[in-house]
Amino acid sequence: MSFASDVKGELARLPRGEICCARSELAAALLFSGGIAWRGRGRYAATITTADASIVRRFFAMLKERWGITGEIRALSGDGLNGGTRYQLALSQPDSLALLKALDLLDEAMPFGLRATPTEALTHYSCCRKAFARAAFMMCGEIIQPEKGYHIEITAPTEELGRYLGEQLNYFGINVKNTCRKGKLVVYCKKAEEVSDMLTLLGASRAMLSMENVRVAREVRNRVNRQMNCDASNINRAVSAAEAQIRDIRTIDEELGLDKLPRTLREMAEARAQNPEISLSELGELLEPPIGKSGVNARLRRIAEIADRLRSGEEIELGRPAKGGRPRKAGPDGQ
Ligand SMILES: [Zn+2]
């Protein structure tokens, strides 16, 4: 079962609601499924066809309970392209006409005497706007499994109907976008929050919660990964800094001899050489007396300077002013 069919199944099992909402739902179901056929001279045949038997059962019950209309449910075998069985709720011609009148979908001025979108009265209340969107989704909706991403869409058979649906959703602050696909208007959202809001609006609260669970789990995982990457790069930085310090110390030892360094720097160099893996603060604690991280940094910087000067072949006499620099004599702190 796909996530989309879970959502449709949940919607199909919701309480059937008031008569006002029943009208909006049925109008949307007929219009979105393209289920109104003109049979000439004021005769129509209304059908609702879907792959989900529970949706057909919902409309069957709704018609019977609200209008006393008993439709016929047929199973249509797959046509090879779509595969699985589809279910069709079919109404007799007199029942079809009665229903179209009850739903205000007839208008002599329109082609085939049929309105392309419902009258304003049909979606006057916000409960009815939701009901309209719910049926549109049941008939023509798709939603991506939350593990794979966030995307919900409803494909309207005509541009006019798609825009009408978009208005109903915008009314609730859901900022849907439109795109054309194979001559049909697709109304969609792809932001996690909007997908979640739309599920709530349609009434699929169970699906919304399972989506939120996936979303929270994913966000936590991303945050942990970011933290780990950050830690890893801090460690890499610390390791390469320590490697450079060890190289400097070795250079000084080979070219000058560590014993030529002022005491504070020599102790620092020895402590680092013996403990290449520890942090600057830990290094500071090894000294006698212990010093802080910034003190360690300062001494290591001086060691690096000395190593650089040795590498560039400069004669070094510690305790004498460096070429163009400050006096190099170490202070009580060796800095
Ligand atoms: Zn209503």
CA of 305 to the centre of ligand 1 (A): 80
**Separation in Å, CA 209 to CA 193, 195, 212, 213, 331:** 12, 12, 5, 6, 66
What is the DSSP secondary structure assignment for residue 225, as one 8-state letter?
Answer: H
- Out of 83-92, 102-111, 122-131, 315-324, least confident range: 315-324
How far apart (Å, rounded) are the C-alpha atoms in residues 4 and 165? Answer: 19
Distance 135 CA to ligand 1 centre (A): 13
- For each of the domains in the chain, give its residue range(s) and CATH number, in order of start: 3-203 (3.10.28.10), 234-311 (no CATH)
> Do you find a cis peptide bond into 157, omega within 30 degrees of 0?
no
Taking the centre of ligand 1 as the mean of its atom positions, its distance from the CA of residue 123, in whole angstroms, is 7
Give the H/E segment covering residue 180.
Answer: strand 177-181
Map residue 36 onto helix, strand or coil.
strand
Residue 252 and residue 310 in contact, taking contact as beta carbons nearer than 8 Å: yes
Quote the pLDDT of residue 226. Answer: 87
Calculate how far, in angstroms, residue 227's C-alpha sits from the geometric centre of ligand 1.
Answer: 49
**d(CA 26, ligand 1 centre) in Å:** 12
Would you state the structure tokens that stand for residue 79, as one six-digit string? 């046509």
Q: What is the mean pLDDT of the chain?
A: 88
pLDDT of residue 56 exceeding 60: yes
Say how many Å lie between the CA of residue 258 and the centre of ligand 1.
88
What is the Cα 106 distance to its own chain's centre? 42
Report CA(17)–ligand 1 centroid distance (Å).
7
Please determine, for residue 82, whether its predicted confidence score (pLDDT) is greater than 70.
Answer: no
| Least confident segment among 59-68, 182-191, 234-243 | 234-243
**Residue 108, exposed/middle/buried by CB under 10 A (0-12, 13-18, 19+)?**
exposed
CA of 232 to the centre of ligand 1 (A): 56
Between the CA of 21 and the centroid of ligand 1 the distance, in Å, is 4
Rg, the chain, Cα only: 38
Q: How many A from CA of 304 to the centre of ligand 1? A: 78
How far away, in angstroms, is 93 Cα from ligand 1 center?
27
C-alpha 127 – ligand 1 centre gap (Å)? 4
Task: Give the pTM.
Answer: 0.70
CA of 103 relative to ligand 1 center, distance in Å: 13
Kindly give the distance from the C-alpha atom of residue 22 to the centroid of ligand 1, in angstroms, as a whole number.
Answer: 7
Query: How sure is the predictor about 322, in pLDDT bands with cuts at 50, 70 and 90?
Result: very low
Structure confidence at residue 321 (pLDDT): 44
| Per-residue confidence band for 330, with pLDDT thresholds at 50, 70 and 90 | very low
Give the H/E segment covering residue 241.
helix 205-255
Q: How far is the CA of 20 from the centre of ligand 1 (A)?
A: 4
H or E element, residue 245:
helix 205-255
Mean pLDDT of 131-151: 95
* Residue located via tokens 């023509």: 140
